[in-house]
Amino acid sequence: MSNNPLKRLSFAAFALLLLAGLLASGCATAPAPAEAPAKSEVPTPADTAEQPKDPNDAYLSTYKPLPSSPVLITNATILTAAGDRIEGGSILLQDGRIAAVGRGVQAPAGAITVDATGKWVTPGLIDAHSHLGVYPSPGDDANADGNEMTNPVTAEVWAEHSVWPQDPQFPLSLAGGVTAMLILPGSANLIGGRSVTVKNLPAQHVNQMKFPDAPYGLKMACGENPKRVYGEKGRAPSTRMGNVAGYRRAWIDAGEYRRQWNEHRERQSRKKESQDQDQAQGAPAGGDRTPVRDLSKETLAGVLDGEILVQNHCYRADEMLTMIDIAREFGYKITTFHHAVEAYKIADVLAREGICSAIWADSWGFKMEALDGIVENAAILQKAGACVVIHSDSAQVIQRLNQEAGKAMGAGLRMGLDLRAEDVIRWITINPAKSMGIDDQTGSLEVGKMADVVVWSGDPFSVYSRAEKVYIDGGLAYDRNDPSKRPRTDFELGLVELEDAGGER
């Protein structure tokens, strides 16, 4: 999937590289960070000769950040999501990256200075569970493209091919400080398809939003939804044991498919070697039958190869444990349990397995498997040292991930835990980044990372605070105080004129 050398380069090494550049240029004119060669660049002759072009490269990211000048935000309370809070801190955004963060950062010549006295700065918020674009507003059937409810295993579908970029919910989430999100297929199917990670910048096409080189995710779903949807159709699965049989069958098929392709590739490379020798001796080239591509199994094989991350909708503790068994049987890793309303019951296991729990603060009781949802879920997971992610799964909640985290923090305080803002901020920044495999790029305010930054009017966990400025890759994507910096989708044009009435949605 990803051939980006940047991904291979450790983040620390990259930061050093950037720092070296900064020092060499005396901070004033830091060079652009070493950009990874874009996939669209002309491949080298060696590449074309040895690697058949990946047909999936047709769908690569064409994301381009907004144009930007260096920005120095000063006098802020900074939650970096990578350590302690910084009072009276500054942060320098330059060439799309975080160039410096701390106290007493000097502005390079030509930098825009933003005085953030009394304000707070955090990394851009990241939602690890969204359906924006695939379930847009208005919510008519004509626009509902999130669940391919025609087969319990639809690993072949890609959420990105349903994303409607004109969904007015995107700019609303941007106003809530969200700079990146994971857009998933729904949970009707055992295996629902590929998710897509996007930068929350308005675009004409989903490819222009795709987070460069983010790994793909695979949506899987436990429990009530698949068995209900297919049980009602009078077909398997109609039980939880049917669910499990369904996953296992799919993985067995995928394993076989992967074996065929691996053998084919091996034969090809062996043949190539002998061909080179044969050609040197003037012999004709031989043939090997290429396996037929199967989009569903190709995606599942990507999971078995460790390139696609498993994003598993699962509510009940016992079912999560079963899913861990299945992952063990087939040798893949579950990256995140989504919703995970009973994660607190197995917090120690999730900590040990290194599986994130992407959860609501307090959504519960809407179905049997959600009955044991408690607002202390996050706090208990945190106490156990597990990875906590507060997610939205909602176009409303995505506008207030900070408040949801605040609610979960309040519940933790009520049970006597010492939760600090600098801990809780991780639930909506670096932890979701980790659960999406982009934590080496974004999710915390560290030198060299993407300049995805929010300036809040106050403590982000206060109900009264609002995102005032949102930077994505250093570009000002949203400014609450400047209507020209509040993007509107095509859909919203000519409707009720909120802006004319002097306000915002």
Partner 1 sequence: MRMMKAFLLLLALPAAVMSAERAETVAITGGRVVTLGPAGTIDGGTVLIQDGKVRAVGRDVAIPSGARRIDATGKVVTPGFMDSLARLGLVEVAAVEETVDTRTQNDQITAAFNVADAINPRSILIKTNRVEGLTRAVIAPAPGSSLIAGQGVVIHLGGPEDFLLRSPVAMYGVLGANGRNFGGGSRAAALLRLREILHDAREYAKNRSAYEQGETRDLAVSRLDLEALQPVVRGELPLVLAVNRASDIQAALRLAKEEKLKLILAGAGEGWVVADEIAAAKVPVLITPLNNLPGSFDVLGATLENAARLHKAGVTFAFMSVAAHEAYSIRQQAGNAVAYGLPWDAAMAALTTVPARLWGIGDRYGSLEPGKDADVVVWTGDPLEVVSYPTEVFIRGTQVPIESRQLELRDRYKDVGSSVPPAYRNP
Separation between Cα atoms, residue 314 and residue 369, nearest integer Å: 9
Structure tokens at 87: 């009072």
Q: Give min distance, CB of 142 to partner 1, in A.
A: 12
CB of 93 closer than 8 Å to CB of 75: no
Structure tokens at 433: 């980044």
Q: Give min distance, CB of 482 to partner 1, in A.
A: 17
Q: Give min distance, CB of 140 to partner 1, in A.
A: 8
Q: Which residue is listed with tokens 């999971």?
A: 303
Binding span for partner 1 by CB under 8 A among 199-207, 210-218, 258-266, 495-503:
495-503
Separation between Cα atoms, residue 20 and residue 247, nearest integer Å: 49
- For residue 503, state whether it binds partner 1 (rule: CB under 8 A): yes
Binding mask 334-373 for partner 1 (x = CB under 8 A): ----------xx-xx-------------xxxxxxx--xxx
Separation between Cα atoms, residue 83 and residue 446, nearest integer Å: 10
Residue from 97, 129, 297, 400 in contact with partner 1 (CB under 8 A): 400
CB of 247 closer than 8 Å to CB of 221: no
Binding span for partner 1 by CB under 8 A among 8-16, 69-77, 207-215, 457-465:
457-465
Closer by beta carbon to partner 1, 109 or else 496:
496
CB of 169 closer than 8 Å to CB of 219: no
Separation between Cα atoms, residue 6 and residue 445, nearest integer Å: 18
Closer by beta carbon to partner 1, 59 or else 491:
491
Amino acid present at 465: S
Q: With 0-12 CB in 10 A as exposed, 13-18 as middle and 19+ as buried, what is 216?
A: buried
Residue from 79, 86, 411, 450 in contact with partner 1 (CB under 8 A): 411
Q: Give min distance, CB of 426 to partner 1, in A.
A: 16
- For residue 488, state whether it binds partner 1 (rule: CB under 8 A): no
Long-range contacts of 43-51 (CB under 8 A, 24+ apart): 50/272
- The residue count for binding partner 1 (CB under 8 A) is 56
Q: Which ranges of 415-479 does DSSP label H, i.e. alpha helix? A: 421-424, 430-435
Q: Give min distance, CB of 405 to partner 1, in A.
A: 9
- For residue 498, state whether it binds partner 1 (rule: CB under 8 A): yes
Site for partner 1 in 117-146 (CB under 8 A): 137-140
Closer by beta carbon to partner 1, 110 or else 416:
416
Q: Give min distance, CB of 62 to partner 1, in A.
A: 28
- For residue 169, state whether it binds partner 1 (rule: CB under 8 A): yes
Q: With 0-12 CB in 10 A as exposed, 13-18 as middle and 19+ as buried, what is 388?
A: buried
- For residue 403, state whether it binds partner 1 (rule: CB under 8 A): yes
Q: Which residue is listed with tokens 């120690």?
A: 348
Separation between Cα atoms, residue 136 and residue 416, nearest integer Å: 40
Q: Give min distance, CB of 429 to partner 1, in A.
A: 18
Binding residues (CB under 8 A) for partner 1: these are 137-140, 168-169, 172, 224, 344-345, 347-348, 362-368, 371-376, 380, 383-384, 395-396, 399-400, 403, 406-407, 409-411, 413-415, 461-466, 491-492, 495-496, 498, 501, 503-505
